[in-house]
Amino acid sequence: MRRVLWMVILVGFTPLVYGQQQEEIKKLEQKVKMLEQRLNYLEKNASPAGVSRDQLADEIEKRLSDLEAKYNQWNGPKTFRAYWKNGLRLDTLDKSFRLKIGGRIQYDWAWYADSDMRDIVGDLQDGTEFRRARIYMAGQIYDDIIFKANYDFAGNGNSDFRDVWIGMKNVPIVGNIKAGRFDEPMGLEVLTSDKYITFMERSLTEALLPAKNNGFMIYNTAFNKRMTWAVGVFKNAADGSGRA
């Protein structure tokens, strides 16, 4: 419950802070434009008595530098920004740190009214079921470290982690490394996210392929990203197939 509460607080608070930052940035940009206009005016016209143009230029330059420093503090390359793009995202302007928080709900309903089917298979009970009810967090740290934690609340009390892994990109020779619980690299039927399949359930060919298991894998692309390859060692997950 505390984790859910903190998640709600984060989702509500982060856009508010980001909005305040954007307002401050706009005000600073307006001040910079006003000071630049004033400097241009003073360079073209006589300066006030007792004050040289150079002194005025130095003072305005100092103010511009102070504003620029404050602007970079709010909007520097390491400053996090929050926005919505298929989920809540937080990242730095240089993209070296990224965080995405999201989830999905797939709710299944069924009504049976075919009397012939009831005669063949027996009494069929109408009902509803959450096929998938997930929340996840994924991201990148210092450009090269990647991670994901995906928790599924569906399953009639059998809630469990779906994906929990950490990896590293840009590793010499092998390319990428991943360790934890994730899909074995075998078959598009399994590797394609359930967000992009035609029906709520996958086809019967899935039964012939391994799915989410605990393991270690190296993987990369080849021939200008026209081919992918992966080699891994896996052990069956605690809950069996790990299918989803």
* All structural domains of the chain: 2-75 (no CATH), 81-235 (2.40.160.10)
Measured distance CA(114)–CA(136) in Å, rounded: 39
Instruction: Report the sign of the C-alpha dihedral through residues 50, 54, 57, 58, in that order.
Output: negative
**Are 102 and 136 in contact, with CB atoms under 8 Å apart?**
yes
Token pair of 37 as six digits: 């206009």
Q: Is the pLDDT of residue 239 over 60?
A: no
Q: Is the pLDDT of residue 196 over 60?
A: yes
Q: For residue 12, what pLDDT is reported?
A: 46
Q: Is the pLDDT of residue 180 over 90?
A: yes
Q: For residue 16, what pLDDT is reported?
A: 44
**Are 206 and 189 in contact, with CB atoms under 8 Å apart?**
yes
**Are 128 and 121 in contact, with CB atoms under 8 Å apart?**
no
Q: For residue 15, what pLDDT is reported?
A: 46
What phi and psi, each to the nearest 5 degrees, are found at residue 89?
Answer: -125, 140
- What mean pLDDT do residues 176-191 have? 91
Higher pLDDT, 14 or 228: 228
Measured distance CA(71)–CA(61) in Å, rounded: 15
Q: For residue 20, what pLDDT is reported?
A: 59
Percent of the chain with pLDDT over 70: 75
| Partners of residue 181 on adjacent β-strands | 164, 214
> What crossing angle do the helices spanning 2-44 and 53-75 adopt, rounded to 10°?
160
Q: Which of 29-38, 83-92, 180-189 has the lowest mean pLDDT?
A: 29-38
pLDDT band at 137 (very low <50, low <70, confident <90, very high): very high
**Residue 162: which H helix or E strand, with range?**
strand 160-171
Regarding pTM above 0.75, the answer is no
